[in-house]
Chains A and B, each alone.
Chain A
Amino acid sequence: GQQVMQIPQYQHVQEGEDFTTYCNSSTTLSNIQWYKQRPGGHPVFLIQLVKSGEVKKQKRLTFQFGEAKKNSSLHITATQTTDVGTYFCAGNLGANNLFFGTGTRLTVIP
């Protein structure tokens, strides 16, 4: 079946270091979404990427969608303690067909 793999599963960084999580799909996606879940919280929608090779930025966060629309990445520059949480990618195959990756749990050490 459809799988969306995400690596790494865990990442510990010193505050101020950069962080990247990667997402790979076994099939071509119509788009990809990214979510953040704080500890004990619920997933919160961050962004959606639709076009092949698309790059979007939100302050210190940079999101990329691969040329083949099968992979994506989220890069955080100069992490802060407020970045702590689990970041999920979610690949969209079509309407109501959103498959979530297993997530990357980010810990930021002050």
Chain B
Amino acid sequence: NAGVTQTPKFQVLKTGQSMTLQCAQDMNHNSMYWYRQDPGMGLRLIYYSASEGTTDKGEVPNGYNVSRLNKREFSLRLESAAPSQTSVYFCASSEGGTGYGYTFGSGTRLTVV
């Protein structure tokens, strides 16, 4: 069972470049999430998709866009990367609602220079 798969694992961008982080889950989960993790700040929610066809902003959405392509896939796009977006990005999925834990992908380590 793959669980949640994220690509790429590592990426270096120049300021102003764009890129899309890909995420796919094979657990038939309804909800999917994008978090960023910075030292000393825990995990902060960027965007989430409660179900196929819906997306909503989280705590730190500025500078990002998302697409819930289908039930399996949820992508995160940086249109014009900035050094402040240097972080580790995690995708996660869950059954939805409040009764379930989240399954996380292995993360994408992004550096913007």
Residue numbers of A with Cβ under 8 A of B are 1, 6, 9, 30-31, 33, 35, 41-48, 50, 88, 90, 92, 94-96, 98-103
Cα A46 to Cα B104 with chains together (Å): 12
Q: Which of B10-53 contact A (CB under 8 A)?
A: 31, 33, 35, 40-45, 48, 50
Shortest beta-carbon distance from B3 to chain A in Å? 10
A100, B98: Cβ atoms under 8 Å?
Answer: no
In this assembly, does B96 line the interface, its C-beta being within 8 Å of a C-beta of chain A? yes
SS of B interface (majority)? loop
For B43-66 the 0/1 string (1 means CB < 8 A from A) is 111001010000010010000000
B40, A9: Cβ atoms under 8 Å?
Answer: yes
A45, B103: Cβ atoms under 8 Å?
Answer: yes
In this assembly, does B90 line the interface, its C-beta being within 8 Å of a C-beta of chain A? yes
In this assembly, does B106 line the interface, its C-beta being within 8 Å of a C-beta of chain A? yes
Cβ contacts under 8 Å, B103 to chain A: 45
Task: Bin the interface of chain B by size.
Answer: 20 to 34
Cα A2 to Cα B77 with chains together (Å): 26
Shortest beta-carbon distance from A38 to chain B in Å? 11
For B91-113 the 0/1 string (1 means CB < 8 A from A) is 01000111111111111000000
Shortest beta-carbon distance from A55 to chain B in Å? 18
Q: Given A102-B41, A103-B42, are A96 and B101 neighbors across the interface (CB < 8 Å)?
A: no
For A44, A96, A98, the residue with the greatest tally of chain B CB atoms inside 10 Å of its CB is A96
